[in-house]
Structure 1
Amino acid sequence: MNRLVIIGASGHGKVIADIAVKCGYKDIVFLDDNENVKECAGFLVKGTTADIKEYQKWDFIVAIGDAVVRENIYKNLEKHSYKIVSLIHPDAVISRRVNIGKGTVVMAGAVINSDTTIGKGCIVNTGASVDHDGVVEDFVHISVGAHVAGTVHIGLRTWIGAGAIILNNLNVCTDCMVGAGAVVIKNLDQPGTYIGVPAKQLVKE
């Protein structure tokens, strides 16, 4: 059909729109629940998520950074059998032995190496890398310039901050937030926020 609906008219949505154009989409519209937003990346914002039903025959991708919101919208699309697509920038480097779930976006300069599984609704952002034999569960965001070494398992909805590093053979549990520039040298077994070098859990007082 060559028609795409991007849900989320933000900076992230702009980047996804550029990738969509490079992937051959001609007709692109945005939906966003902020009714004051009328345009994004040169494309019209045609309505809110309440208008999804008007685009039943279009392809969809969710361009929202917040993992919980992204997951909820994704599951609503999935429930109603809308066509959710993945978008991969042509300048990403991806092994022939990688599985990528629906609704995932891989940005320019990203590298994903052999025998790695990327779940659905994930973001592998600009210049990020995921090395061999990794598992990245659904709705994870690996931010700009973050690097995940070999044989790492990252749990559902986890966010790896810009420039963070995850050393090899580690597990990062569900619902973690690894701060920008942090270096993870041991398993992260409890949900929470981890910062620093080496990364330690941020404890709220």
Structure 2
Amino acid sequence: MGNELIKNIKYLWHCILNVIYSDGRECTICNEYVSDEKLLCNKCRAEVKLCKEYFKICEETFEVKCFSSAYYSGIIKELIINLKYKNDFKAGEVLVQYMVDTIRKQNIKFDVITYVPSTKKSIKKRGYNQSKYLARTISYKIDTKSLEFLVKFNNTKDQIGLNGEERWKNLKDSFKCINIKYLKNKRILLVDDVITTGATSFYCAKAMLRSGASEVIILTCAKSSL
């Protein structure tokens, strides 16, 4: 918590300095001058491959609708890596802009926003949960409540390097719900950075649906070849 607070303060201070000492902005990726609030120049924006259709994860007796803003490649991949591993909150702002655009363009309806949880070990290593950051920032942008509903209670293997079947087996029944009284009969928007096989998102959604949520909709910055 302390590390997260310090990083957020540094980010806010960086924003203040930008306002005081700059009459414009630089592209988050290539540092070219940007005259609007998009944070990406036209050239970099043109390289982003947007996702225009939602898809569904159908497992066991559950069906979960999933939206992603873009494909996990090129500019979007770089932005996610910069946020996740380099604490680049400016990159996070760009990703949030794309996710908010997706909510509005796809007319996604929900009551509460939540996020995929991280283990204490991951948070200690990275300093914060990037999915929580995305969810809370989206919540602020669209003025919708954000609550914590999930905890990860199994120390699973890192998903990187596992094949599809191994990812599903690795995460089975690894999440449980908290604050259950606030999710009952609610439509929940579950936020994460990337969806690959869908295992993480599905098991999070399953936990909330079994705890009384009326619907869970997944929203990620990006998707791979799911």
Same fold (TM over 0.5): no
Higher strand share: 1
TM-score (norm 1): 0.30
